[in-house]
Chains A and B, each alone.
Chain A
Amino acid sequence: MVNTRVNLCGIELENPVIPASGTFGYGYEFAELYDINCLGTFSFKGTTGEERFGNPTPRIAECTAGLINSVGLQNPGVDAVIARELPKLRACFKKPVMANVSGFSLEEYAETCRRLDGQEQVGWLEVNISCPNVHDGGMSFGKTPQAAAAVTAAVKAVTTKPVIMKLSPNVDDIAAVAAACEAAGADAVSLVNTFLGMRIDLKTRRPVVANRSGGFSGSAIFPIALRMVYEVYEAVKIPVIGMGGVSSAEDVIEMMLAGACAVEVGAANLVDPFACRDIVERLPAVMEKYKIEDLSAIVGQAHQR
């Protein structure tokens, strides 16, 4: 019997598989399809202080081995999330959930995190300082180590639960941003969010998505994301959550060897609503194939000389 359990900031996960924010809603719609309690946890839709409709459509452009999205943090706002979404989530998911938060000012980040920190089912706060689809917010807070540290400190000052800073790959030195988050008190980092990308329609000769550019994700980015997880693992002592193009149990294991203690799965959910369930189910067999008895023991093994 292999052991798929991992520990994330003091909370044990049955397995390291976590649907990423923005690809799993607030969970309950997937719960109509299968019992989502098989997941390690999931990160719910990025939540802001106020309701947001998001960007104009088209918001989606297909790419080779991936897609570009420019959804722009559509969400009902923190009050409605607490009043309407979390009760529905609670009815179908019995484990601690990861609350994903975004914002447009330090105050908004702090206040939204404070509100969600008070929700019993929230196990971790994942703070998105890496959304490429909004102006004057999101990614601009993740571009420099100083800005990332400022958000981290603002959130840590008003919360009690583990704070995971979700990092952007669209930076010069992601390891430096991760180190700054750690120094400012972050309990973990998760990476990577999407890469800025673009497609142009040959017929209209204009960008496919209305917002012109968007965030590129999918299996195409896996090698780049893996390299960044590997780099960040060497730069920090806090746990690292790996994500970016993960679509199989093998990818999960590869991310863990690079240094991830848990792994988020994003774009794969949009192609196959059963993707995460299938990864969880296949994980033990793939572990046996590679003679892994205890999954948490392989975290960062690729770094051993």
Chain B
Amino acid sequence: MAVLSKDLFTVAKNETVARDVWEMVLEGPTGAVTAPGQFIDIRLESRFLRRPISVCDREEGRLTIIYKVVGGGTEILSTLPAGTRLDVLTGLGNGFDLTKCGDHPILLGGGLGTAPLYWLCRALAARGIRPTVAMGFDTAASVYYADKFPAAGAGEVLVATMDGTAGVKGTVLDAIEDLNRYSYFYTCGPKPMMAAIARAAAIDGECSLEERMGCGFGACMGCSVMTKNGSRRVCKEGPVFGKEELVW
């Protein structure tokens, strides 16, 4: 079980990488960040609650996050210049289970949900596994990181857009021939996408859920989800859950 840490981080980089999508690099203590799929919770001076954002990549002393400007809080985040100091909780949630990947796993990302799959891809590559990565977006202007995954160890990168302006027209499932020829799946994205994947999959896999959170560390019960094994907190027992555990 992860143990959180509260530290000051410094913004090293904060740049747009696609339409309304930003990449931020934070420098600070990364000891509590132990697994791809975990998230961090950023405090902003003018906002009451923290902003939970999944870790896109981790190196010693450096975290990369990808976020979308969707409201006032993320808008403030996008204006922070390099050098800004931020109060950040790290080590939140449980990440993906790399030991279950088999010999040819597939990573399926939808929109912002592609972000945590980047570190996952690198971590799998470090174990000698070259996963297939399928990423879905609404349109070409929203696509990010498609060119970065090969260097992160992806054996194959497939892109789908709903309007067909990049890659295959349709969803991530339209971009791949047969989900069940892979050994295992890891997915993060909108709920309808993950539900479709879970229904289509005869293979086993894991889904990273998103839910509106209060605290992000298990105290408020704001993000509870009912699973086949009873109530679970997305922030604490999740955000990654096994396919079999979830009710769609």
Contacts and interface: CB of A to CB of B under 8 A. Distances in A.
Nearest to A33: B4
A271 B49 contact: yes
B3 A65 contact: no
A59 B212 contact: yes
B interface bracket (residues with beta carbon within 8 Å of A)? 20 to 34
Interface string A54-80: 100111111111110101001000000
B224 A54 contact: yes
B84 interface: no
Contacts of A219: 48
Interface string A258-274: 00000000010111111
The B interface, classified by DSSP as helix, strand, loop or mixed, is loop
B180 interface: no
Contacts of B222: 57, 59-60, 69, 71
Nearest to B214: A60
A25 B224 CA distance: 13
B67 to A, nearest CB: 16
Given A33-B3, A53-B226, A271-B48, A58 B212 contact: yes
Contacts of B223: 57, 59-60
A22 interface: yes
B28 interface: no
B83 to A, nearest CB: 23
Given A57-B224, A74-B224, A74-B231, A29 B48 contact: no
A74 B221 contact: yes
A57 B231 CA distance: 12
B213 interface: yes
Contact of A273 (B49, B73, B219, B224): B219
A269 B219 contact: yes
Nearest to B6: A274
Contacts of A273: 4, 6, 89, 215, 217, 219
A62 B221 CA distance: 15
B155 interface: no
Nearest to A62: B49
Contacts of B150: none
A25 B225 CA distance: 17
A270 B215 contact: yes
Contacts of A208: 212
Contacts of A271: 43, 48-50, 215
A218 interface: yes
B75 to A, nearest CB: 14
A100 interface: no
Contact of B6 (A45, A58, A270, A272): A272
Interface in B1-17: 3-4, 6
Contact of B47 (A33, A62, A267): A62
Contacts of A65: 48
B29 to A, nearest CB: 15
A24 interface: yes
B219 A29 contact: yes
Interface in B42-79: 43, 47-50, 73
Contacts of A267: 48
Determine which residue in A53, A65, A274 has the highest number of CB atoms from chain B within 10 A of its CB, and name it. A53
Contacts of B231: 53, 74
A63 B48 contact: yes
A104 interface: no
A63 B48 CA distance: 7
B218 interface: yes
Given A32-B3, A58-B211, A65-B48, A53 B217 contact: no
Interface centre among A62, A63, A67, A208 (most CB of B within 10 A): A62
B141 interface: no
Given A273-B89, A274-B6, A71 B221 contact: yes
Given A218-B48, A270-B49, A271-B48, A54 B214 contact: no
A30 B48 contact: no
Nearest to B47: A62
Interface of B: 3-4, 6, 43, 47-50, 73, 89, 211-215, 217-226, 231, 236
Interface of A: 22-25, 29-30, 32-33, 45, 53-54, 57-67, 69, 71, 74, 208, 218-219, 267, 269-274
The 7 A-B residue pairs with the shortest CB-CB distance in the complex, in nearest-first order:
A270-B215, A58-B212, A60-B222, A60-B214, A74-B221, A59-B222, A62-B49
